[in-house]
Amino acid sequence: MQSLTVGMDSFCLREHHSPRMKKTMPAIFGIALLLCPFSALWAEAATPTPTSTPSKAVVFLGDSLTAGFGVKPNEAFPALIADKVRAAGLPFEVKNAGVSGDTSAGALRRIDWLLQRPIDTLVVELGGNDGLRGLPVESLKGNLQKLIDKAKAKNPTLKVVIAGMQIPPNLGPEYAADFARVFAELARENNAVLIPFLLQGVGGERELNQSDMIHPTAAGHRIIADLVWRTLEPILRKG
C-alpha cells in the first residue's frame, strides 16, 4: 500500500531566534520538537496485514515528535502504535500526520485537507513550538479548539486524545503553568482523553534522546508508544 505524502517547506527555528529566545533555548529540552525540515502531511504508519480490513482510522496530528524526526519511519511512536493495533487485531488503520516545524496555527491551516478522509480517533500532539516561541497560550488554546471543532463537525462521534506538553519556567513560572494547563482544559471542555505529558520518562534523559537532547531516540519512541498505548487501547477496543 502506498503512503500518501506531500512535501512541505519547513524552517529551522535556530535561524529565527529573537534575543529573548537565545537566552531561553539552552534550557528548553522538551518543547523544541520542530527544529529541522522533515514533513509528511499524511503518511501511513503501517500497512495492514492482508487478513485484516481496517474499517476505521486513527490519525496522529502533531509536530516532529509525531513525524519521528531523526529516527526511521517504522521507529516513530505512531508506527509502533500501528504495530500494537495490528497485533491486537483491532480494525483500525493508523495514519501519521506529523509535520516537523508545525505549530497549532499551522495544524489548523492544514486540518481541512486532512479531513478529506474520514477520521474516527484523533490524537493531537501540538503546542511545543508555540511554547518555544513564547506565543500567547490563549492563541494556542484557540487554535487547538478550532481544530477540534472542525474535526467534530466532520464526525460528531469523533474520539479525541490530547497529548500534553510542558515547558521549563524560563519564560516565567506563570507562562509555564498556563501553558501546561491548556491541555487539561481542552480535554475537559471537549470530553477528550488527556495524556498529561507525552515525554514522561523521556524528556531530559540523555540515553533516550538524540545528541540535540530534544528529539527522542528509537528507544525513547518505544517508551512514548507504551505511554500512548495505555491510553489509546481502551478507546479503540470500545470501537
Residues that are catalytic = 64, 212, 215
Nearest partner of 225 among 84, 90, 19, 32, judged by Cα: 84
Annotate 35-56 with b (16+ C-beta within 10 A) or e (fewer): bbbbbbbbbbbbebeeeeebee
Would you call 9 helix, strand, or coil by DSSP? coil
Plot region of 127 (φ>0 → left; ψ -120 to 50 → alpha; else → beta)? left
- How would you write 42-106 as a 3-class SS string? CEECCCCCCCCCCCEEEEEEECHHHHCCCCCHHHCHHHHHHHHHHHHCCCEEEEEEEECCCCHHH
The helix or strand, by DSSP H or E, that contains position 177, with its residue range, turns out to be helix 173-189
Give the position of cell 481542552: 186
